[in-house]
A and B are shown apart, each in its own frame.
Chain A
Amino acid sequence: MDWALPPNYSTFGVVIDQLFWIILVITGIAFLLVEGGILWFCIKYRGREGARAHYTHGSNKVEIIWTVIPAIIIAILGVYSAAVWQDIKGASNRPADALEFLVVGKQFEWNITYPGMDRTLGTADDFTVLNQFHFPVNEDITILLESEDVIHSFFIPELRVKQDAVPGMTIPVWFDATQTGNFEIACAELCGLGHYYMMASVTVHSAADFDAWQASRATETAQ
């Protein structure tokens, strides 16, 4: 049994995982207090013949305490989450000279259009490959995410990336992988009867390998 987040290979993943563990600790403590309290009360105050309960309608003081403390904890978490979110997704933080790819989801495949050797989309040396996503390590990557038919969701667990692909929209998604390796794109949004096999392979190359791969692909498609 293996109940853990998969290893993280992206820059953003570090903060996401950190936040996950922080919340796990905070909610873990709350969990123990609440469940422990309930259990303890069940044992300590279980009904006895002739016993009489303590008559009270409550106390404003404790109401205030247990309103304010969770509110503070939650406010701090909220501010911190918002800051991290803004860092990851905020439009102003979109990397300026990222390497761009076009990714189009369609029942039940991912079409990836590569910028080619000139590193620019929309030029003659672009080429499209089905269900194979190759890109270089340690470099800002931006994909322009589209869908041809229904909503799909672009999910690479190890890179902590997930974004819905919506027909009629072009949604930019950026990330930066920190290690080379082989992963998968999964589709995370129900998109029809082939939803479960809508996957593509992901290969993160070193910069030199990526150039070599693109060059070989480009000549292949040109022929």
Chain B
Amino acid sequence: MATIVAEATGQAILHEEHEQSFLRKYIFSTDHKVIAIQFLIYTLFFLMIGGLLAMLMRYQIAWPARGELPLGGIFPETMVASGYILPEFYNALVTMHGSVMVFLAIMPMLVGVWANYLIPLQLGTHDMAFPRLNMLSFWAMVPAGILTLASFFVLGGAAGAGWTLYAPLSARPDLTGVGLGQILWLVALVFIGLSSILGSVNYITTTINMRAPGMTWMRMPLTIWSLFITAILALLAMPVLSAAGIMLIFDQTIGTSFFLPEGGGQPLLWQHLFWFFGHPEVYILILPAMGFTSEILSVGSRKPVFGYKAMVLALVSIAFLGFIVWGHHMFQSGMNPTLGLAFTVSTLFIAVPSAIKTFNWMGTMWRGNLQLHSAMLFAIGFVAMFAIGGLSGVFMASTPVDIYIHDTYFIVAHIHYVLFGGSLFALFGAIYFWYPKMFGRLMNETMGKIHFWLTFVFFNLVFFPMHGVGMVGMMRRIYDSTGYAHLQGIEDTNALITWAAFGLFASGFLFAFNFFWSLKKGKKAGANPWNATTLEWQTPSPPKHGNWEEVPVVYHGPHEYSHPDVEDKDWLAQNERPDVVSPAAGSH
């Protein structure tokens, strides 16, 4: 087992591929690139599951009195009875849609896929610091996925207390009828926490210790910066969630009362613990997306990232502030209102670095030579949609306004502008952009552009009107809004949203088709199809096991496009032409 010895010492393991069995190469692989692809397939699958759950919800919201759910017969009677989605099943849908999207789709797609794939390649190293921990971080996700899917079919159905799991609702099966389903999801969360912690340790160690010669901190691509900061956030936040989750399991099963007032516990303690994790979590869900966007915008504009240093500083300050704003989720929770004041201040301040980043992205496009391919369209879409999510956040951060809009569809609109218009747009961009490196072929551009425009239009038709129904006062997580006097008159809007949601879901299949079709039929990519400067493009596509024939030496900042001293082309790879002087990124 020469491989294991070599890996254990962290040495290069070039040219050993021929000795690996199929199982070691593709299933229990320790190659960071294979692990990334495993994460990609896994998360795309759960993205589809999460979307499917949303379609069922939208059907119910638009036509609560109709019944006649298409294919309703395939569901057990405990979920759908004679064509009607049952309220308890609706609660499971709301809960598991949010949970699946956040924990099994978006988060592992941002981090599991791209931290794994890009950190060694962009830093110029052979693999992660701890390849076997890395393999474990993928395999810990497998039981999590299985438990999640299984939880729908146990007695009482899947968890139904919201993805925020507010106690006592989440801890009292006697009040919800959901027992085992809730526990299965909590156990899944513990596995997810394990996976994320193992991964983070790896990403942090690799970034600190294994950069190629010449790859100084200020020459790291912004993708790496954002993934590095994200890993630190995850390492600090995930253990809190895991611990809180285990406490919740105890409350439910062995009679403790951490969160139950009857035994002297505190329901608000759960919320503090959850959001102490939860707010850093929302930055875990957006920082990597910001990194990909910076990268793609720079390549696509043929310009260095505008204000690289400001971008790094903004990332660091978001990460820091992210730990002291959790209370803004609890303004109406019964927490001391004076405490609310402190959280308003920290929350408003976190809007500043987000604004800085938006302006710098626009600065990057300014006087560029924009290549509007699919990846670039999604990156620009990210900036445009993230801005809307950021601006709607100002309403909520203003505590008096939050009194009214808290727990309404205004919040649902906000979540989705940030997580779908933000994170998922950037992820689509990242897939179009790095697919050729992963698989050696480009995804089809025509299909890619159609996919972008369909997604962009349907996305806005789904989520922009939600601000409107939120203003009218429609509460979130509600099974049927038609019984309320103040909610008369929004039925048409809700039907529109649902039709657009079907369109949005359907356009995902165009992407899936393109993804699989291009594996065989896509145009051959070559090493560097985008004429990009960072290291991953200076090795064949796909890179061999071990990534490099020879470890690259870095001479330049990460985004040297259109450098005036380079005449024959408009890019300067990080590892070429030591004779050309490029300014330290961020200086002028």
Contact = CB atoms under 8 A, between A and B. Distances in A.
B394 A23 contact: yes
B243 interface: no
How many chain A residues sit at the interface, stated as a range, is: 35 or more
B407 A58 contact: no
Given A45-B369, A57-B585, A193 B486 contact: no
Interface stretch (B21-29, B67-75, B356-364): B356-364
Interface string B140-169: 000000000000000000001110001011
Contacts of A23: 394-395, 398, 401
Contacts of A161: 403
A89 B403 CA distance: 10
A101 to B, nearest CB: 17
How many chain B residues sit at the interface, stated as a range, is: 35 or more
Contact of A74 (B306, B349, B359, B363): B349
A1 B492 contact: yes
B468 interface: yes
A50 to B, nearest CB: 9
A85 B399 contact: yes
B406 interface: yes
Given A53-B562, A78-B344, A163-B334, A193 B472 contact: no
B91 interface: yes
A3 B261 contact: no
Contact of A195 (B86, B334, B355, B477): B477
A77 B348 CA distance: 9
Nearest to B95: A190
A194 B310 CA distance: 50
Interface residues of chain A: helix, strand, loop or mixed (majority): mixed
A195 B387 CA distance: 33
A222 to B, nearest CB: 32
Interface string A40-63: 011001111001111111111011
A27 B391 contact: yes
B370 A58 contact: no
B585 A16 contact: no
Given A157-B486, A195-B479, A164 B333 contact: yes
B213 interface: no
Interface string B297-339: 0000111111111100000000000000000000011100110
B465 A27 contact: no
A184 interface: yes
A189 interface: yes
A58 B400 contact: no
Interface string B72-99: 0000000000000011100100100000
A38 B395 contact: no
A49 B467 CA distance: 42
Nearest to A65: B359
A86 B468 CA distance: 28
Interface in B219-278: 261, 265-268
A193 B471 CA distance: 24
A195 B484 CA distance: 13
Contact of B562 (A55, A62, A67, A84): A55
B585 A187 contact: no
Interface string B479-510: 11101111001101100000000000000000
B485 A184 contact: yes
Nearest to B310: A63
A162 B562 CA distance: 55
Contact of B303 (A56, A59, A162): A56
A153 B586 contact: no
Interface string A179-203: 0000110111111111111010000
Nearest to B588: A57
A151 B169 contact: yes
B341 A151 contact: no
B365 A197 contact: no
Interface stretch (B171-179, B436-444, B547-555): B171-179
A212 interface: no
Interface in A88-115: 88-91, 107
B66 interface: no
A193 B88 contact: yes
B45 interface: no
A80 B236 CA distance: 34
B400 A81 contact: yes
A220 interface: no
B475 interface: yes
Contact of B483 (A75, A107, A197): A197
A210 interface: no
Contacts of A62: 359, 363
B345 A78 contact: yes
B587 interface: yes
Contacts of A118: none
B371 interface: yes
Given A19-B400, A20-B395, A78-B345, A52 B308 contact: no
Contacts of A19: 398, 400-401
Contacts of A213: none
A70 interface: yes
Contacts of B516: none
B18 interface: no
A88 to B, nearest CB: 6
B333 A166 contact: yes
Interface in A140-182: 149-151, 153, 155, 157-158, 160-169, 171
Nearest to B354: A70
B368 interface: yes
A150 B175 contact: yes
B404 interface: yes
B460 to A, nearest CB: 11
What are the nearest 3 A-B pairs in CB distance?
A: A168-B261, A3-B468, A54-B367
23 contacts: A3-B469, A4-B472, A5-B472, A12-B400, A20-B404, A26-B394, A30-B391, A35-B384, A35-B387, A42-B380, A47-B372, A58-B363, A62-B359, A151-B169, A153-B332, A153-B407, A155-B473, A162-B403, A168-B261, A168-B266, A183-B485, A183-B486, A199-B483
Interface of A: 1-6, 12, 15-16, 19-20, 23-24, 26-27, 30-31, 34-35, 37-38, 41-42, 45-48, 51-60, 62-63, 66-67, 70-71, 74-75, 77-78, 81-82, 84-86, 88-91, 107, 149-151, 153, 155, 157-158, 160-169, 171, 183-184, 186-197, 199
Given A85-B400, A150-B172, A183-B485, 8 more contacts: A45-B369, A48-B369, A54-B303, A57-B304, A57-B307, A81-B399, A89-B399, A162-B332
